[in-house]
Amino acid sequence: MIKKSRKVRDYKELTKALPTMRFLEPESVYIHLQNGRCKTYDLYVKEGDYVKLGEVIGIRHGGFFEQPIHATVSGTVGTVSKKLHRTGRKVDCVEIRNDFKETYHESIVDRTDQAIAELTQDDMVQILKEKSLVGLGGSGFPSYIKLATKEKIDTVVINAVECEPYLSSDYRLILEHPRRVIAGMTYIMQALHVKTGIIAIKKSKDPLYQVLTQVIKGKFPEYDIQVVKLGDYYPQGWEIEVFRNALGIDVPHGELPMKYGVIGFNVSTAAGVYDAIKHNLPVTKRYFTLTGDAIKYPQNYRVKVGTSVKKLIELSDGFKEDYDKVNIIMGGPMMGVSTVSCDVIVSKTTTSVIVLQDTDYEEQPCVRCGSCVYSCPAHLEPVQIMNAVKRNDKDVMKGLGAYKCIECGLCAYVCTSKIHVTDYVRKAKRLIG
């Protein structure tokens, strides 16, 4: 019964070979005014106002930072209403009715290569702050804070592992726009005065290795950038695992990688750095995966931030099954959030929506097989944490290190009794703060 597993079928064959479909002209976009990190906001526009693409229309307030809110189309401001965020919560969104003119705000102006070469770390930090760039792999952490580090950085790592099953939007972004990703990486290297860069991919993704090495050799020969192949297991994309296997650096729990001379960014974030520095452009579009065995035509899309997933499902010819017989997951199947509605809006940090045929897994009593313990990449004892949650024993939860859980979902995946162990550990983290 005891089973250690880090192998998870990836199902990426549904979408990774398909060219990305562009859907950049929705009739309306719905811009999130709140998110998981920012609960309050100020909106600078009112219904009926005209706004331009890239214009600042408000600001979100986080705990120790603020995020400007940008229009992603030009058009007329509509009403504020509640829409579903990728966190599974409904938040305020403002509608902008598209005029289909793509009228850019006056601030959206290209920088010359010479002007970029003269930018300092402080200059680039300020640009990323004004353009509200955040971790686009899903973390949503403000990139300007990361880039403002005063630690001595030796290596910049672009995390292109994308180990969550089903997701292939980063894969397509690299294949279709490798130069944007690498150029963004070089801007980060310039800001931090770093000589060495690494792009980490899975060893099974040879097409990425081929395209990246060719572009580096042809367009960026003056940079010391290596493409490193890592293991084909889950969760290889966990940042700590990437640093360990790509550089041999172990970053202890609770410490920042920068202290060890390394800093990491997601693929989409690197492309976002390029757009912000080169074009002075905030994130107005993103690569997005709509897939699963219950959607007729799984597809990667390039969409405006604020696009309705309902519209994308229509473009994919809808569901195979009746709507009430499918499961909808926002994000990856291992770390994402289940929802009962497809009325979801694509935010900057929405990587995917997965629609699966309804499978009724009946939980059975724990048989103490130990599979969750043996498989946990953070070396925790998920089953014991679950038992502590059932007893509401916070001291034991703390003693078992529940706060170290990375919520990868592997414990629930390998559970022979089909128990949602990860949900119990998440609850433990909330209970102990």
Positions at the binding site for [4Fe-4S] cluster: 366, 369, 372, 376, 405, 408, 411, 415
Could you give the residue ranges of the DSSP H alpha helices within 324-409?
371-375, 382-391, 394-399
Pick the closest to residue 404 from 298, 301, 254 (CA basis).
Answer: 254
- The answer to whether the CB of 198 falls within 8 A of the CB of 226 is yes
Instruction: Check residue 259 and report its DSSP letter.
Output: G
Distance of CA 47 to the CA centre of its chain: 31
Cβ-based burial of 33 (10 A; exposed 0-12, middle 13-18, buried ≥19): buried
CB atoms within 10 A of CB 211: 16
SS (H, E, C) 351-375: CEEEEEECCCCCCCCCCCCCHHHHH
Which pair of tokens denotes residue 340?
């009962």
Bridge partner list, 225: 197
CA distance linking residue 291 with residue 54, whole number of Å = 29
- The answer to whether the CB of 15 falls within 8 A of the CB of 298 is yes
- The answer to whether the CB of 44 falls within 8 A of the CB of 66 is no
CA distance linking residue 140 with residue 142, whole number of Å = 6
Residue in this structure with the two tokens 């650096």, named with its chain if needed: 249
Which pair of tokens denotes residue 296?
């007729």
- The answer to whether the CB of 297 falls within 8 A of the CB of 309 is no
Task: Report the binding-site residues.
Answer: 366, 369, 372, 376, 405, 408, 411, 415
Helix (H, G, I), strand (E, B) or coil at 127: helix
Q: How many residues does the chain have?
A: 433
Distance of CA 39 to the CA centre of its chain: 19
Q: How many CA atoms lie within 13 A of 59 on its CB side?
A: 7
Report the alpha-carbon angle 279-280-286, nearest 5. Answer: 75
CA distance linking residue 158 with residue 135, whole number of Å = 12
Sorted by sequence, the CB contacts under 8 Å of residue 387 that are 6+ apart come out as: none
